[in-house]
Amino acid sequence: ETGVTQTPRHLVMGMTNKKSLKCEQHLGHNAMYWYKQSAKKPLELMFVYNFKEQTENNSVPSRFSPECPNSSHLFLHLHTLQPEDSALYLCASSQGQGGPNSPLHFGNGTRLTVT
Our finding on whether 43 is near another protein (CB under 8 A) is yes
> CA 25, CA 23: separation in Å to the nearest integer?
7
Candidate ranges 11-19, 64-72, 79-87, 91-99; the one touching another protein (CB under 8 A): 91-99
Candidate ranges 12-20, 49-57, 67-75, 79-87; the one touching another protein (CB under 8 A): 49-57
**H-helix or E-strand spanning residue 23:** strand 18-25
Cis status of the peptide bond prior to 61, with omega within 30 of 0: no
> CA 82, CA 102: separation in Å to the nearest integer?
35
Q: Which is nearer to another protein, 39 or 69 (CB)?
A: 39
Tell me which residues touch another protein (CB under 8 A): 4, 31, 33, 40-43, 45, 48, 50, 55-56, 58, 90, 92, 94, 97-100, 103-109
